[in-house]
Structure 1
């Protein structure tokens, strides 16, 4: 994790060295190990250096090639070094002295604007090509490394690792983008271009961009293929392949010149990363591995120490702890908002802040994270939907029962959500024999009345189909209002003004259930919230000059997991089945076969209502009224009163509504952007 920035005046003005120095100083927290600038006429680059890899100790950025034709600044860690070194044949320097940025530059010299397709790792970079008079920029596959820019056609293009480095320049306007506020309040973060500031944009993940006097060209250099499927000989072959790819995803993120720490929550994902990393370090004599975990002495239902200890008891670790119930979600926000450039979305934001602060105090520079293994490997629950559509009722019922047993819920509740809707499909297709067989199976296994099943899932859908036919409405037209998810927190006049409903229709994933598990898996991996979350995690780490590495965000691992057959994701009620099989003997058995993990919402609720109650009441009584143009205050106050009521009738939606409004009010107030 370093910091990069640059200015390109398209109108020919000369870059002011002091402007570059302002940007470099603004991002001092991203790189305490060095700072430098390069400028020539109407173009200039800056860089803040954080040493993490052995090669970075030798790195000096911005970097100019030997002929002076190319200049690069970057925030990058390249993971396929051996492959690139073999192809690029950089012979004028020992391999151990070739930096990742040199590899990127050499890749550009060989493949030009297609070079991003050959890179693996986490990266954001910009290359000035003097001969072409173009600025080439690229960002990694999932957006681990951020890239923000401000562009005025025919005038200027300015970029940086953080928005604040753009806003420190007086000619970059600091104006609120109300469209982004609407997206935030609607929990719809699918737009991967815009930010909370007008005219400040993001280069989307897996995108390259060329900036020149004639404008900007931007394109996607990679995308996930939802049609590809892998077929291997048996379960062991799948497990072996997963183990190999996952181990490599962890291994390439262990390249460091400093001690590293692994975040260990006790869940399947963080434990998998931690155990594999420990084994790999031990193989080369670099153990033990530092770990850091959140523990809860007061809100004990959130405590995961039995599972954390199951990992630690294997040996090879130096454990560290933070107390997750000592702070509330509104604590330390003044410190956080100095660095976070956009409003916080997730209510668990204070855990990484506490963890990264502790890691910094321990002298760490690199942190391993099991972030979003759920999405990468997939719990596979949509396999039930797939089985229902395929009419495989026996298998669907078996899986529903197994899931219920692992998670201590009612089997029929599981089946009702994922199986019953597809009875109606049989009726619509006039497959009455299959319909009757399915009804018999449901009655046999769950004791549900056959009469009610036939009435509500057979006769009523059939009657509706006949009614539509006689009306001549073979296709029912759905109005935009009825097809949209409800956004009751948003002020309706504001929603109309920014055309929020149209944005949701255009950008939000379709509400109908996917036809297959792979479709559902693909949707989850391509949602805009993924990059948004990674960007915020990057800024949390940057506060403490840390680089966070995410093995589950490895392109090779994601492609492999998406292409797996459904039964490798959900089998006998176990989600992420392939991962459980693959890590046999590596994970403690108690974690390998965990059904779920602790719900941290009691600690959030307790923190908001007790530890942070004074801040909460102050916001709700004084600051929230300033958001009337954006928020439906009556709806918010009703949710707030339900939360405060003694009968404990508040829903999860009530808590999220309150969190969104309060955090937005505090962020806008801190940034001086409140209406």
Structure 2
């Protein structure tokens, strides 16, 4: 907390258990108070650096991947300095131009004790969160967790009842842009902030694709080789500080690429895979892919078999109960793997987020068709549907044949009309009762969510897309980071490397979808590192839903019993008859019923242990 007038800040707040290390610092005049708690993550610095002579204090949560290069650019000799010292020296040299020069995951705040102002910045993809609040008495408060900021500044840290239910109708992205705790704001990805007693300025300092590669669109081999190098560098940098790393390994192309490249940069025994497979289903494509990659790389793995996982199911429920929110990723095994990794000494968890948005973004087909590529897109769509075993792309391409050429204002108008028409159906599909929706204003929240998802006008010509900074992607990054950090593991995402994103933004459309293969260029680039059957697989079936079925079975049975008694925790919002009908379909083995009830059961279990974190009636 920082007082503009230099007056003393009331402090002493320690939100962590007594067993956690608490570090505190106050400025000589008492106008700035800082606190950090918890164990340090290897390769990450959370703390502050003070330059008393300059009157500057820098507070950082940062992993910098090119400290050597940054120190060289600053002209500083000697051993490589730590991250906060480099950040402070960089700010003194470049001011608000500093974030543009950084390679890493970071959130930092510079407090100027003489000018009585602050400067803050977040990394290009929002890997490290930063929340802030203007203090009523004149000042600025900030923290990496909203609950900590609320506790420091006297706000109610509980989740309002109406905000708690947003994930039930797939509107959880609202919380990223409109934090659930009233009075708190988040500094979004690739933004810097400058604040003093008179004003607050926020500005975006980076957009994907700022530097166009010097490659001709027809140089296929050049694009493939350059992508292989960029992705390899993204993985290498995230392992270069000697961390012990894990990989959330699904058997899909993206996580397979990270695992295969990662094993070339760390000594044996310092990389571990975490996978869910299904030995009870010999035809499971994910299990086959996992086995092939593990055999090819020799990386040890911690695997959960959904055919025999009662012990792990109980552990997953325990991890869910300990999570800060009931939704931190759409699969129940994710908190369990984070907890298991931390217990085994893993410092960093890597994954394949968000290669989908990087290589096959939402307006790719639309742009291809507008460029005159309808026939090519249709041929690719037919091949893709055959490989995937379901017809999803051909109908989409045929619809886009007529809609892609409509003016953006018309397309957006149609989307708004369809969104309005879907508000009540979305709430109904979540099994929410009409009276609960009206009492909590959920229809307005659904409308606000649709406005948040509204796409900007499509880029012209060869300009790159801005999909990576969309609401779904940024919220997913934020939730995954919060979950991993909560369990003591640092999340690092090679596909969210800034240099890789800048390069990939310019990859020609025809190299993204080719011969029916989504992410064709990534498959081609990874062919030397992965078994052919994995690099070019067209099927996709993740056993995560079967994990959730086993994990949540006892929760379902208890809710059914409670509905015949005093009622479950979710009973105040849920249509009892429709829930019980879906429960019967679940018990009959319909996987669709698992998808329908999963979020409700996750919420029920979380509420059984965390009801005190909810402000009911708000």
- What interval of TM-score do these two structures reach, taking the shorter chain for normalisation? 0.7 to 0.9
Equivalent residue number for residue 47 of structure 1: 36
8 Å Cα contact 1:665-1:674 kept in structure 2: no
Contact kept, 8 Å, 2:560 with 2:580, in 1: the verdict is no
Is 2:53 the partner of 1:81? no
Match status 1:292 vs 2:247: no
Deviates more, 1:35-44 or 1:607-616: 607-616
| Superposed displacement of residue 37, structure 1 | 3.1
Which of 595, 611, 616 matches 1:669?
Answer: 611
2:445 counterpart of 1:500:
yes
Alpha-carbon shift at residue 109 of structure 1 (Å): 0.6
8 A contact 2:277–2:303 mirrored in 1: no
590-599 or 497-506, larger mean C-alpha shift: 497-506
CA deviation profile, 1:198-229 (whole Å, cap 9, x unmatched) = 22332211121223222432222222369979
Shift of 1:566: 1.0
Query: Structure 1 CA distance, aligned partners of 2:188 and 2:220?
Result: 36
Where does 1:437-476 land on structure 2 (aligned, <5 Å)?
Answer: none
Distance 1:358 1:554 in 2: 26
1:14 counterpart residue number: 8
Of residues 584, 587, 596, the one that matches 2:539 is: 596
In 2, Cα distance between equivalents of 1:127 and 1:63 = 9
Contact 1:266 1:305 in 2 (8 A): yes
C-alpha displacement at 1:327, in angstroms? 6.1
Q: Deviations over 1:230-289 (max 9, x none)?
A: 7444210110110111111111101224433333332211111111111233xxxx3454
Give the TM-score of the pair, scaled to structure 2: 0.83
Q: Work out the CA distance in 1 between the residues paired with 2:415 and 2:496.
A: 41
Look up the match of 2:292: 310
Aligned residue among 164, 173, 183 for 2:156: 173
Structure 2 SS opposite 1:313:
helix
The answer (yes or no) to whether the contact 1:262–1:289 under 8 Å persists in 2 is no
- How far is the alpha carbon of 1:185 from its aligned partner? 3.9
Q: Which residue of 2 aligns with 1:395?
A: 376
Supply the distance in 2 between the matched residues of 1:294 and 1:338 (Cα, whole angstroms): 21
Instruction: For residue 50 of structure 1, report the CA deviation from its aligned partner.
Output: 4.9
Structure 2 residue 88 is the aligned partner of structure 1 residue 105:
yes
Structure 2 distance, partners of 1:663, 1:524, is 34
Is the CA contact 2:342–2:489 (under 8 Å) kept in the aligned structure 1?
yes
* Unmatched segments (≥5 aa) in structure 2: 408-412
1:259 aligns to 2:244 (yes or no): yes
Specify whether residues 483 and 610 from structure 1 end up closer, same or farther in structure 2 by C-alpha distance, changes over 3 A only: closer
Matches of 1:27 and 1:563, distance apart in 2: 50
C-alpha RMSD over aligned residues: 4.0
Structure 1 Cα separation of the partners of residues 584 and 254 of structure 2: 35
Q: Which blocks of at least 5 consecutive residues in structure 1 are unaligned?
A: 1-6, 430-473
Residues 38/309 of structure 1: CA separation in 2 closer, same or farther (3 Å cut):
farther
With over 3 angstroms needed to count, the CA separation of the structure-2 counterparts of 1:484 and 1:564, relative to structure 1, is farther
Equivalent position SS for 1:205: coil
2:141–2:153 Cα contact (<8 Å) kept: no
Q: Structure 1 residues 139-148 or 227-236, which shifts more?
A: 227-236
Does the 8 A contact of 2:286 with 2:542 survive in 1? Answer: no
2:476 aligned to 514, 523, 533, which one? 533
Distance 1:402 1:532, change over 3 A: same
Contact 1:263 1:292 survives alignment (8 Å) = yes
Match of 2:183 in 1: 199
Tell me the equivalent position of 1:408.
389
C-alpha deviation, 1:368, in angstroms = 2.4
Alignment of structure 1 residues 369-388 onto 2, 5 Å? 369-378=351-360, 383-388=364-369
315 and 329 in structure 1: CA distance in 2 versus 1, 3 angstrom threshold: closer
Question: Is residue 98 of structure 2 the alignment partner of residue 115 of structure 1?
Answer: yes
Name the counterpart of 2:410.
Answer: none
How many angstroms apart in 2 are the aligned matches of 1:157 and 1:134?
Answer: 9
SS of equivalent to 1:314: helix
Q: Please give the TM-score of this superposition, normalised by the length of structure 1.
A: 0.77
Residues 360-380 of structure 1 show CA distances to partners (whole Å, capped at 9, x for unaligned) of 2322222222222222222x6
Say whether the 8 Å CA contact 1:484–1:504 is kept in structure 2.
no
Give, in angstroms, the shift of residue 579 of structure 1: 0.8
Q: CA deviation at 1:105?
A: 1.0
Cα 1:192/1:424, change in 2 over 3 Å = closer
- Aligned ranges 1:210-289 → 2 under 5 Å: 210-224=194-208, 231-281=216-266, 286-289=267-270
Q: Which has the larger radius of gyration?
A: 1
Structure 1 residues 499 and 265, CA gap change in structure 2 (3 angstroms):
closer
Q: Distance in 2 between matches of 1:479 and 1:582?
A: 40
Report the alpha carbon displacement of residue 167 of structure 1 after superposing the two structures with TM. 4.0
Distance between the aligned counterparts of 1:480 and 1:596, measured in 2?
31
CA contact (8 A) 1:347 1:604 kept: no
Which is further off, 331-340 or 571-580? 331-340
Shift of 1:523: 5.7
Asked if the contact 1:583–1:592 (Cα under 8 Å) also holds between the matched residues in 2, the reply is yes
2: CA distance, partners of 1:606 / 1:175? 29
Contact 2:24 2:33 in 1 (8 A): no
Structure 1 residue 390: Cα displacement: 4.8
What is the CA distance between 1:518 and its match in structure 2? Answer: 8.6
**Structure 2 residue matching 1:196: 3-state secondary structure:** coil
Contact 2:358 2:505 in 1 (8 A): yes
